[in-house]
Structure 1
Amino acid sequence: MIYQFKVTLKDVGIPVWRRIQIESESTFEELHYVLMASFDWLGYHLHEFEIRKTSGERSSNIRIGLPEGGSFDAKDSLLFHMNSPLAQSIDFGFPRFLHEKEEQLSAWFKMEKDRALYTYDFGDNWDHDIVLEKILEPEPHTLYPLCIKAKNDTPPEDSRMEMLDDEIDLKNPDWKVIVEDINDTFRTAHWKKDFLDRDHFI
């Protein structure tokens, strides 16, 4: 099956969103790369998913990201201390991360309007609201992932302060060009490798 998501970048002053289609059996890691390409992020920062609604029921404390014990923990002070011998996360009831390479979208997005929050860059905190709009049959001869509509530009990396000071104009009426650029990325051979090559920055 094909999932159609509307992904909205929150708290940037004007509507910024992408409507994307992706195979339901894709992993959250694959969705992460799709979001990187769709919102023109470079992948230099950490990220996580938080499931907010699954099977039509509100959810909390279900977080999906890089595995515990990896580079993610070393860079995040809270998670580092949670995993130290004197303060295990289970002792304080903190949620553990599910591994984004192993979790499939279909395990959590069951019904239309199920949703998640995707956070990229824990300094600037670019939050993206992910809503499952439709569950579709795949179209013949269509390559996925696919962006079908978009609204306005994404802020540059590391620009939260400039956004707060109203120094960045995100208005872009030509949504078709945005969509074309995103889909050109998806059709480029080994497009995910550009993000994988940045792992050493994290």
Structure 2
Amino acid sequence: MYHKWIKEYGKSGLFLTAYNGVTGVPFKEIESEDKLSHEDYLQILEEFRRVILNQMEVDIEKWNMGVMMIGMTDLIPRYIEIDNAVILEFQIILNNFLVFLQDKEYLENIFDLQKTVFQFMPLCLNNNLDINYWSQIKRKNIEAYMKYMDEQMETINDLLDDLEGNMMKEEFFPPVKNQKHSNNVIPMIPKNKIPLRVSNEEFDNKIYQLRIDIVGAKPPIWRRILVPAKMTFGDLHEIIQTAFDWDTAHLYQFNVDNVVLSDFEAEDLIGDKPHVYYTSQIKKDMAKVKLNQLVSEGDKFEYIYDFGDSWEHKIVVEEVLEHDPAIPFYPYCTKGKRTAPFEDFGGIERFDDFVADFKKNANRKSVQDVLEWAMGVESERFYPDYVDIEEINELLGLMW
């Protein structure tokens, strides 16, 4: 979803010219991975607009030199996950967009805004290289990406070793599917969270389509669930517990950018507090904050359950939908992959290792002992690659 002026700009000749100048190719979908598509640049422009709106409550119609200075020197390096090479390219797109706004007579004093962008670009680049300047979510996402790249390099090295020994097999080249919402990975579109806002009737009546993944699971363990936008984070906690067969036997919290949402009542009873790592974080009671007060379409946030085993769940608001009369009730689970881990099992790596052992020799006594401990009389029902969507919805229907 783009601002109407950004949509208009994306279809203009000015943007086509700027895009050609930045990429060196005609305006079209780029297949090469080392170049950004036209949608990528428009997305960055929309992110720049949205982070200014979220942090300063100023939209494009009221941009001025002060807003542009803060946007360049503070908001881009703090919240937007792009490297310096892309920032330099974005500078061209942004200045071109300002010319478009002037041509359309949407904004005045464009020359001053362009001068501000140019003047503060060095500071923007410098701050973007300073990890201490990044927001928590930007730091975590980039660290996760770097970890992923390290793992990919290890895989490549293994492949090269196999190739040298003439042991290359087709299984090392799995097919890659290009689809809107992949069933294998969460779309990593950087989004910036908005301050707590008062919900309104229009958004209260919407439905959020959420994709919830257990972080680190290989293959992914996830659920896709439709929930009312007016539902509280406390309600969402109950939904996640149901969808992943957790027992609410430990503390839990949501992290939405710099906002920590925890169960104040449970903490008072237990005498424990949420895990807050930065003094800049804001603590809220999850029972009193609605989803649409903190997140909207495309936003990502985190749910942590059991601070010992640390079951991290990454949540994406994939779409904002209207009520569908074909859906019998909300919340409603539409899809998912793999059975959920066992409670108190020690973390996702240990669970994935156990699943691998189970698939090799399900009848081994050590494997059966673990199943009996984890599932009791239902140990024969363990199917690691299966998730019972009907059972999840039956439980959700009883709760709401």
- TM-score, normalised to structure 1, is 0.73
1:183 match: 393
1:107 aligned onto 2:107: no
Say which structure, 1 or 2, has more relative contact order (CA 8 Å, 6+ apart). Answer: 1
Q: More displaced, 140-149 or 39-48?
A: 140-149
Would you say the 8 A contact 1:47–1:65 is kept in 2?
A: yes
Matches of 2:291 and 2:323, distance apart in 1: 16
Letter in 2 for 1:127: E
Match among 149, 153, 158 for residue 335 of structure 2: 149
Letter paired with 1:98: K
1:50–1:72: structure 2 CA closer, same or farther, 3 Å change rule? farther
Question: 2:271 — aligned with what?
Answer: 74
**Residue in 1 aligned with 2:230?**
25
Q: 1:162 to 1:126 in 2, by over 3 A?
A: closer
The one of 216, 229, 237 equivalent to 1:11 is 216
1:3–1:168 distance in 2 versus 1, CA, 3 Å: same
What displacement does 1:61 show? 2.1
When residues 162 and 127 of structure 1 are mapped into structure 2, their CA distance, relative to the original with a 3 A threshold, is closer
SS of the counterpart of 1:71?
A: helix
Equivalents in 2 of 1:171, 1:10: separation in Å?
A: 20
Q: Report how many residues are paired.
A: 168
Map 1:50-61 to 2 at 5 A.
Answer: 50-51=255-256, 60-61=257-258
Q: Separation in 1 of the partners of 2:350 and 2:238?
A: 27
- Pick aligned residue for 1:136 from 305, 309, 321: 321
1:22 partner SS = strand
- Letter of the aligned partner of 1:179 in structure 2? I
C-alpha displacement at 1:147, in angstroms? 0.1
Which secondary structure does the structure 2 equivalent of 1:75 belong to?
coil
Q: Distance in 2 between matches of 1:137 and 1:78?
A: 36
- Cα pair distance change 1:106/1:76, threshold 3 Å: closer
Alignment gaps of 5+ in structure 2: 1-205, 357-381
Q: Answer yes or no: is the 8 Å Cα contact 2:214–2:313 preserved in 1.
A: yes
Task: Select the structure that is richer in helix.
Answer: 2
Distance 1:73 1:94, change over 3 A: farther
The separation in 2 between residues aligned to 1:114 and 1:41, in whole angstroms, is: 24
SS of the counterpart of 2:325?
coil
d(CA) in 2 for partners of 1:71, 1:152: 35
How much does 1:168 deviate? 3.5
Q: Structure 1 unaligned runs (5+)?
A: 52-59, 80-88, 193-202
- Where 1:168 maps in the other structure, the secondary structure is helix
**Structure 2 length normalisation: TM-score?**
0.39
Measured after TM superposition, the shift of residue 96 of structure 1 is 3.9
Native 8 Å contact 1:67 1:97 kept in 2: no
Quote the RMSD (CA, aligned, Å): 2.8
